[in-house]
Structure 1
Amino acid sequence: MNEHFSVAEPQGSAAGPRELCIEFSASGSEYFRIWIVNLLLIIVTLGLYLPFAKARRLSYFYSNTLVDGQALAFHGNPWKMFRGFVLLAVLMLAYGVSGQISPTAGVAAFLILAAVWPALWRAGLQFRLANTSWRGLRFAFTGDLRQAYLAMLPAYLPAAVIVVVSLLNSEALESKSFTPAQGLIGAATLLIMLLTPWTLSLSKRYQQSHYALAGQHSRFGVGTGAFYLLMLKFVLFLIGYALLAGAVLAGVYFLLQSPLLMAPLALLAYLGLFALVGPFFTVALQNMVWRGTSSAGLRFDSQLRLRAFAWLSLKNWLLTALTLGLYRPFAVVHANRMRLEAVSLRVNGDVDAWVARKSAEHQDASGDAAGDFFGIDMGF
C-alpha cells in the first residue's frame, strides 16, 4: 500500500521546517479478523466479494496510518468499486475466451484491451486519490490521458509483437526447429528486458509527478539513468546470490554426500531468494522513489533498511508456510509498518494553515467521472 502526499506551503507563514512522522498502528490480530471474514466471503461468493473486501482492507489500513498524529481516511464506495471490478473482469474474460475462438479474435481482443488499459490505469489512480483524505483534505491525481499512454508505450510495442505472433503462429512456435516466429518473440522479449527500467521510470514519473492536495502539485526528480543503475545492481545481486547459493549447496553435497539433506537446503535457498533478492529491489526502489518526490513545501525521505526488511521477509515467509497461510495477515501488517514508518516528510510552513483547494473546478471532469463511476482501483 502506497500513501501519497503533496501539500501547499502557506503564504506568509514564518514557521520553520519540521518533520512529519508516519506511524502505522494496525495490529495483526485485528487485521486477521478482517482478513478471515473477507476470505470466507470471497470463497462463498465465488470472488464477487473482492471489491468489498478491498474496501474494508483499505479503510482499516488507512485509518491506522497516521501522519503527524492524524489518520488517513478512505472514502471509496464499495458498490462503485464493484462496477469497476466487473468491468475489468469482463475485459479479461473476453480476452481469454477470444483467443480460444480464433487467432484473429484473440488479436482483436488484445488490441482493444491494450487501447483502454492506460485509461483504466489513470482512472484507478484518480479514484484512489480522490477517495483518500488527511485532516479532511482530499487528495487528487492530475495526470492527463496522453501522459498515461506515453508512459506505457515502451512496453506496449514489444508486448504487442509477442502477443500477436503467439496468437497467429501457434504451430510454428511448437516446432522443434527454429522459425522466424520464435526469433521475433525472442527479440521482443529481449527488448522488453532492456526497456523495463525505462518503462518503470516513466510509470513512476507519471504517478509521483501528479499527486495534489490544497492546490500544490508533487514533482519527481529521479532520472531514467537511476532506474537503469538500480536494475543493474538488482541483476548483479541476483547473480551473486545464485552463485553463492549454488556454491554452498555444492560444497555441502561434496562434504556430506547426503542427497536427503539437499532437499531442505534447496528449500532454504529458495526462501532466501524471497528474503534477500526481492527485498533488495523493494528497499532500493522505495528509497529512491520517495527521496525523489517533493513539492514546493514538502520533501519526502525514506530510510528503509535492507537487513531489517530482509529478516522480516524471511520470518514472514517461514511463518506463513508453517501456518499454511494463516500468518499472512500478520505478515502484511508487519511489512506495511516497516515500509510506512521508514518514510518521513519535511514540511516548510504551518500545517494548520493548509486549505483544501476546490478540486472539482480544476480537474478533468470526464476523467474523474469515469474513475468515480466505475470505481476502478487497480491497486497501485
Structure 2
Amino acid sequence: MTKELYTELYQITFAGQILEGFTDTEVRNNVKALFRISDQRTARLFSGTRTTLKSGLSHDDALIYHERLTKAGAAVQISAQPRTATNAPSAEANTPPPASTDTRQPEPRPAGPQQEAPFEFTGSGREYFGIWIVNILLTIVTLGIYSAWATVRNNQYFYGNTRMEGASFQYLASPVTILKGRLIALAVLVAYVVLSEMYVEAALVFAIAFIPLVPWIMVRSLRFQAINSAYRNIRFDFQGKYGEAFMVAFVWPLLNMLTLLLLTPLVMKKTHEFIANGSRYGTTEFQLKADTGEYYRFFGKGLLIAVAFGVAAFLAMRHIGFTLGSVIAVIGYLTLFGYFMAGIANLFLCAVHLDSHDFESRLQPLQMTWIYLSNSFLVVITLGLFTPWAKVRMARYRAACTAMMVRGDLNHFVAAEQNRTSALGQELGDAFDVDFAAI
C-alpha cells in the first residue's frame, strides 16, 4: 500500500487594485515589464476581475512574487490552492505500472508558473532563393502543373524553419491532393466562362448556385491547412461548422453594410472566433477569449488616427500647399497601414488560448511598415529577385515577436494524441488549399 502526502501550494491573485503612493500608469507599466506581456493583456489584468497571476508556487516562491509585485505597486494577495495528493515512495515505487487500457482523454493538469517559449525562424534568403527560382522555372515549363509541388516545397521550407522549444513545425500535404483541388477549381471556372459566353441566364443561375458552396470551401480549406500542419508529430485540426462559416461569409458582412460599417469590429471578432474556436492541436481545442470592447477600442483608435491625419492633410493643402498636404496624407496612410497590419495580429494572437497556455504577439506598427516598404522597394528595383529575401525577412520578424506562454510543459499533448482514433488521411481528397486566415 502507498501512503499519501499532501503538498501545500500557493497562488498569487490580482484584482486590478494599486497600492498607495503609486499611479495607475506607473503600476501598469511595472506589471507589463515584469511579465513581458502586451498592452491588451495588461488592460485585462486591470479590468477589475480577480485573476490568478501565478499558481503552483511553494510558500517561499509565493513570498518572492508577492514582494516583487508589491514593489511594483500592485495590490496582490497570496492564497492557498486546494491540496493535491501525491504518492509517497514505497517498495512498490520501483515496479513499472501496468500498461493502461483507458482510452479516455487525460484529466486537466494543475496550473503552474508560465514560461515564455519564443518562436524563431532560422531560414535564410539565400537558401530559399534556390527553392523559389526552381519552383518558378518548373511551373512555367509544366504550364502550371508543378505549382502544386511548388506550394508544398514553399510551405515545407517555412514550416520547417519555424521553431519553438527546439522543435520545428511540419507541413504534410500531398502535392497530388492540391493538384486535384486546383483542377476541380479550374473546371468550374471554365464551365462558368463557357456558360457566360453562350447563355447569360445560365451563367447567372450557375453563380447563384455556387454561393452556398462558399462556406463549405472555407471550412474545407481551413481543415486542409490545419490537418496538414503538425508540431512534434501531432497534427492540427479544424472542426468549424458550415453554419458558422455561412454567418462569417454572408450574414455578418451583410449586417455590417446595413449598419453603415458600425459592426466592423464585431464582424472581425466573429471571424476570429470562427477560426480560433474551430481549431485543434491534436484533441485539444483552441479558444478565443476576447472582449468585444477590445475590438471596438482598436478600431476606434484607428479611426481617430485616420481623422487626425485627414484633417491635418486637408488644412495643409488649403492653407500651406498641396505638396505638404500630400506628404501628410501619405504618412497618415502608412501609419494606418502599420497600425492595422501589426495590431490585428497582436489582437488575435494575444486572445488565443490552448488549454492552460497563452500566446503573445508584440509586432510594432512602425517596424512592420518599414519592413514592408523596404521589401517592396527592393523587390521592384531587382525586378522581383529580392522576393525570397523579402519573405524570409518578414517571417523572421513575425516569429521574433511571437511567443507561447507555456504553463508546465507541452508533453501532455502527446499523451492525448495517443488515444486519438484517426482516419485523417481518408478525408483529404475533397479539400481545397484556398487561403483563408485570421491575420
Q: TM-score, normalised by structure 1?
A: 0.75
Alignment of 1:156-195 (within 5 A): 157=254, 193-195=261-263
Structure 1 residues 278 and 50, CA gap change in structure 2 (3 angstroms): farther
> Are residue 377 (structure 1) and residue 433 (structure 2) matched?
yes
What letter is aligned with 1:88?
A
What letter is aligned with 1:377?
D
Structure 1 residues 51 and 194, CA gap change in structure 2 (3 angstroms): farther
Structure 1 residues 342 and 44, CA gap change in structure 2 (3 angstroms): same
1:155-190, Cα deviation, whole Å (9 max, x unpaired):
5658xxxxxxxxxxxxxxxxxxxxxxxxxxxxx967
The answer to whether the 8 A contact 2:115-2:406 is kept is yes
Aligned twin of 1:170:
none
Structure 1 residues 278 and 44, CA gap change in structure 2 (3 angstroms): farther
Structure 1 residues 88 and 227, CA gap change in structure 2 (3 angstroms): farther
Give the Cα separation in 2 of the matches to 1:153 and 1:216.
Answer: 29
Aligned twin of 1:351:
410
Report the CA distance between 1:196 and its aligned residue.
4.3
The answer to whether the 8 A contact 2:169-2:232 is kept is yes
> Are residue 199 (structure 1) and residue 267 (structure 2) matched?
yes
Report the CA distance between 1:213 and its aligned residue.
2.0
> Are residue 81 (structure 1) and residue 149 (structure 2) matched?
no
More helix by share: 1
SS state of the match for residue 218, structure 1? strand
Give the Cα separation in 2 of the matches to 1:271 and 1:95.
Answer: 41
The answer to whether the 8 A contact 1:95-1:113 is kept is no
What letter is aligned with 2:273?
R
Aligned twin of 1:47:
144
Alignment of 1:98-117 (within 5 A): 98-117=195-214
Aligned twin of 2:237:
140
The counterpart of 1:295, out of the listed 354, 360, 364, is: 354
Report the CA distance between 1:332 and its aligned residue.
1.2
Aligned twin of 1:126:
223
1:122-153, Cα deviation, whole Å (9 max, x unpaired):
11111111111111111111222222222223
Aligned twin of 2:337:
278
Deviates more, 1:218-227 or 1:110-119: 218-227
The counterpart of 1:150, out of the listed 247, 257, 261, is: 247
Report the CA distance between 1:218 and its aligned residue.
0.8
1:16-37, Cα deviation, whole Å (9 max, x unpaired):
3222110011111111221122
SS state of the match for residue 223, structure 2? helix
Give the Cα separation in 2 of the matches to 1:242 and 1:77.
Answer: 49
What letter is aligned with 2:181?
G
Aligned twin of 2:25:
none
SS state of the match for residue 146, structure 1? helix
The answer to whether the 8 A contact 1:9-1:297 is kept is no
SS state of the match for residue 385, structure 2? coil
Structure 1 residues 96 and 190, CA gap change in structure 2 (3 angstroms): farther
What letter is aligned with 2:145?
L
1:67-91, Cα deviation, whole Å (9 max, x unpaired):
1111001110011011112222333
Structure 1 residues 325 and 358, CA gap change in structure 2 (3 angstroms): same
Identity %: 25
Give the Cα separation in 2 of the matches to 1:14 and 1:222.
Answer: 21
Structure 1 residues 137 and 18, CA gap change in structure 2 (3 angstroms): same
The answer to whether the 8 A contact 1:301-1:343 is kept is yes
The counterpart of 1:222, out of the listed 280, 286, 290, is: 290
Give the Cα separation in 2 of the matches to 1:144 and 1:54.
Answer: 27
Count residues with an aligned counterpart.
Answer: 331
Structure 1 residues 123 and 273, CA gap change in structure 2 (3 angstroms): farther
Report the CA distance between 1:338 and its aligned residue.
1.2
SS state of the match for residue 48, structure 1? coil
Structure 1 residues 85 and 335, CA gap change in structure 2 (3 angstroms): same
Report the CA distance between 1:331 and its aligned residue.
1.1
Report the CA distance between 1:251 and its aligned residue.
8.3
More strand by share: 2
Q: TM-score, normalised by structure 2?
A: 0.66
Aligned twin of 2:164:
67
Give the Cα separation in 2 of the matches to 1:192 and 1:113.
Answer: 27
Structure 1 residues 192 and 119, CA gap change in structure 2 (3 angstroms): farther
Give the Cα separation in 2 of the matches to 1:42 and 1:271.
Answer: 37
Report the CA distance between 1:9 and its aligned residue.
8.8
SS state of the match for residue 144, structure 2? coil
The answer to whether the 8 A contact 1:9-1:350 is kept is no
> Are residue 211 (structure 1) and residue 279 (structure 2) matched?
yes
The answer to whether the 8 A contact 1:271-1:314 is kept is no
Structure 1 residues 66 and 40, CA gap change in structure 2 (3 angstroms): same
Structure 1 residues 198 and 11, CA gap change in structure 2 (3 angstroms): closer
Structure 1 residues 104 and 222, CA gap change in structure 2 (3 angstroms): farther
The answer to whether the 8 A contact 1:91-1:113 is kept is no
Aligned twin of 2:388:
329
Structure with higher Rg: it is 2
Aligned twin of 1:26:
123
Report which structure shows greater RCO (CA 8 Å, sep ≥6). 1
> Are residue 36 (structure 1) and residue 107 (structure 2) matched?
no
Report the CA distance between 1:359 and its aligned residue.
7.9
Structure 1 residues 214 and 349, CA gap change in structure 2 (3 angstroms): farther
The answer to whether the 8 A contact 2:305-2:332 is kept is no
Structure 1 residues 190 and 53, CA gap change in structure 2 (3 angstroms): farther
